[in-house]
Structure 1
């Protein structure tokens, strides 16, 4: 029988597991990952959580409350950081979580809040815990949780980007990078960020609420560039973590020049756009002057 309780869904996975398999081999890498997942399971149970399933190098858990989930996620990071074996093997984890209505059915959980938690995990980096601002807002003692704003990010199924935060779990924060552009959780999250794009006389303006801007040869893209060296779905610009990010998805790469820096080739990777510059799909600007995309950022 299906139930829809309020739950905190948490995803945690081993960062850099592909490299671990390459360096240590299948058998040893699987042993190490199994040990990490066992340690995370123990922490989950200690905080009143329940392990829903493990998939490869990832664990999925639920907690009855947001505070249990947040405290559990902090202890998961500390457990890995303080284990000498994990430190020796250079193991790190990334965690994403969200509190909301979840559909419980046959021992599994589904629904919008689960998808949001999975999205938070995909945004998290090694040794990071990412959650939604709404998860913190629901806490009566949210002030006891150290956090910082990461801006806004898009989540599948939601019309507008949602505000996300980074939970600061480290006792010593001297090595924690400061986020320069912070949005307060209590305010409306209103900002004036804008990205202006100019292509062949056409001007496009993107804001933090804009849909992801796709570029490529396929006619379904936001910007269609019909040249043989451009992939069908070549690159994507979207606003996340407080910045406009360009991500390359192509065969030939995307060439990006940021202000006075040297032009760089982006291939199956992403960087955040800053100041002004140029974007060239598939070839350098010197070889592709007719189809150069010019951009100007304001944060």
Structure 2
């Protein structure tokens, strides 16, 4: 009998695998399987069909795909990563499902519906090399797509892969990340008139995960220091941290954020010393404007921050008038604890628990360093959130918040964040002249403080100036293109105050803010539109997470100069079935 001929063909092979699948299964098997099944049905299968591919087989947490061309395979893989990223936005960081993807163009052996051979094996080895959220490709894929798709590649050089005879030249795909919800389809942001800069999250080189807090704190403090300079346009912290841990071309980041300059660096903290490397990049011209390495005692960290800030300002705008010195902590232990606490304050997952944990940490920080202004201002905001969001509704928390905010301003009257926090709390005390004075001081110190603009927008909305409130939040979104979800909460509130209920529903249903306490405004908006069943469902979901909410308490507490606006909210809440 004649020997059966082996069938072969050239194919673009994609292998994808879920990062940390075993950990996810161990923590919550049922939820992990449900998310995985949903992603395969709603994301993977439609993408593969749309790009003319087929699912060869599913292997637990992995999948083997075949496409008729390298371009189809690459386009499908990028869309898959983007849609996985979008779907992860509503999950806590620990529960996010990330993919590693490898793509190879090669000869494969066909056995029924299955595929074998080095073409498949190389794709699998590339997948195992890739970092979470990345796509690694062989030279064959890169050569096929480089003139057909608007992509850049990081050359990782030849790699020896397990059970593959010859080294394989490997490239990392530098694709633009998916647009933040609410910005999809918008054109690239225009460059501001001022020199514009974003500080990317510094890389932790300490080899210890617990030092991530220190490295993140260093990044945040540099952003704060640069923002105090009126000659610069500085992107807010939340938007730059959207790129943490991702390998994205700096040109694409700059285009996405609408800035010309990027600061990137790394830090290593060990044995009482800190080593910091920084470089300032002109993302438009492609030049490195300045780079320096600092190797200092840990106690000198704040001096290093000042040096870096001064060098950047000098490089971009020349020497400016010196600014008042910041209130620096006298204890590194207090600083570390404060950084941990402030990272929890705007958390949307397990919101009440995050706020309670932040209260413990920040109380520890101020007990260690009783003159640490930043720790006092964040602690003031924590006590206000406990009261305002019906987590722990006591007058003691309310009065304590104001007391702590005054303490923070007394310790550092030149801290813009301290001034707007005090101004915001004073508005809830109906002390309008004092509140206005504090916000005016904040904007004098830092005209483009994104968070302050959004909080001022809330007060404008409750004063009957809804159009101004919307404009203020839009300004903040330019400074913070990838914002925390509460920006959209405040924007939805402003649209509700303006009577623009359809727009409010659209905004408040964004994944970035939907599962927060903004659901009560969503419920009211739906009720005002006559969509009663939807409104009552959202109201019930809101009450499940905030059982202490009462309309009467809310109405009395609001910082409203225009009571007609408050009554508009009260009417919507009652129509949605929220309790009086």
Which TM-score bucket, shorter chain as reference?
0.5 to 0.7
Partner of 1:186: none
User: Which of 82, 85, 92 matches 1:81?
Assistant: 85
Contiguous gaps of at least 5 residues in structure 2: 179-199, 201-239, 250-269, 272-580
User: Which of 58, 64, 82 matches 1:54?
Assistant: 58
User: Which of 169, 174, 195 matches 1:168?
Assistant: 174
User: Which of 113, 116, 120 matches 2:119?
Assistant: 113
How much has 1:169 moved relative to structure 2? 2.3
Q: How does 1:10-159 map to 2 (within 5 A)?
A: 10-24=14-28, 26-38=29-41, 39-83=43-87, 87-88=91-92, 89-139=95-145, 141=147, 144-159=150-165
Partner of 2:255: none
How much has 1:145 moved relative to structure 2? 2.2
How much has 1:142 moved relative to structure 2? 5.0
How much has 1:7 moved relative to structure 2? 0.4
3-state DSSP class of the match of 1:170?
A: coil
How much has 1:177 moved relative to structure 2? 4.2
The answer to whether the Cα contact below 8 Å between 1:120 and 1:130 also exists between their aligned partners in 2 is yes
Q: Write the distance in 2 (CA, Å) between the matches of 1:30 and 1:2.
A: 37
How much has 1:84 moved relative to structure 2? 5.3
Root-mean-square deviation (CA, aligned residues, Å) is 2.8
The answer to whether the Cα contact below 8 Å between 1:37 and 1:57 also exists between their aligned partners in 2 is no
- Number of residue pairs matched? 182
The answer to whether the Cα contact below 8 Å between 2:174 and 2:248 also exists between their aligned partners in 1 is no
Q: Using a 3 Å threshold, how does the CA distance of structure 1 residues 156 and 90 change in structure 2: closer, same or farther?
A: closer
Q: TM-score, normalised by structure 1?
A: 0.55
How much has 1:9 moved relative to structure 2? 0.8
Post-superposition Cα deviations, 1:61-106, rounded to whole Å, max 9, x if no partner, equal: 1000011001110000011111257645412111111011111121
Post-superposition Cα deviations, 1:130-187, rounded to whole Å, max 9, x if no partner, equal: 11122211347256222111222112344332210011223379734479xxxxxxxx
Post-superposition Cα deviations, 1:25-56, rounded to whole Å, max 9, x if no partner, equal: x2222112222222212211111100011111
Q: Write the distance in 1 (CA, Å) between the matches of 2:164 and 2:51.
A: 30
Q: Write the distance in 1 (CA, Å) between the matches of 2:165 and 2:113.
A: 30
The answer to whether the Cα contact below 8 Å between 1:136 and 1:142 also exists between their aligned partners in 2 is no
The answer to whether the Cα contact below 8 Å between 1:99 and 1:113 also exists between their aligned partners in 2 is yes
The answer to whether the Cα contact below 8 Å between 1:9 and 1:113 also exists between their aligned partners in 2 is yes
The answer to whether the Cα contact below 8 Å between 1:10 and 1:60 also exists between their aligned partners in 2 is yes
Q: Using a 3 Å threshold, how does the CA distance of structure 1 residues 22 and 44 change in structure 2: closer, same or farther?
A: same
Q: Write the distance in 2 (CA, Å) between the matches of 1:8 and 1:86.
A: 32
Q: Write the distance in 2 (CA, Å) between the matches of 1:11 and 1:160.
A: 20
The answer to whether the Cα contact below 8 Å between 1:80 and 1:87 also exists between their aligned partners in 2 is no
Q: Using a 3 Å threshold, how does the CA distance of structure 1 residues 95 and 132 change in structure 2: closer, same or farther?
A: same
Q: Write the distance in 1 (CA, Å) between the matches of 2:32 and 2:19.
A: 13
Q: TM-score, normalised by structure 2?
A: 0.29
Partner of 2:443: none
The answer to whether the Cα contact below 8 Å between 1:121 and 1:130 also exists between their aligned partners in 2 is yes
Q: Write the distance in 2 (CA, Å) between the matches of 1:157 and 1:83.
A: 35
Higher strand share: 1
How much has 1:114 moved relative to structure 2? 0.5
The answer to whether the Cα contact below 8 Å between 2:19 and 2:99 also exists between their aligned partners in 1 is yes
The answer to whether the Cα contact below 8 Å between 1:4 and 1:103 also exists between their aligned partners in 2 is yes
Higher helix share: 2
3-state DSSP class of the match of 2:166?
A: coil
Q: Write the distance in 1 (CA, Å) between the matches of 2:60 and 2:123.
A: 18
Q: Write the distance in 1 (CA, Å) between the matches of 2:89 and 2:248.
A: 29
The answer to whether the Cα contact below 8 Å between 1:94 and 1:127 also exists between their aligned partners in 2 is yes
RCO (CA 8 Å, sep 6+): is it higher in 1 or 2?
Answer: 1
Q: Write the distance in 2 (CA, Å) between the matches of 1:34 and 1:23.
A: 17
Contiguous gaps of at least 5 residues in structure 1: 180-260, 263-299
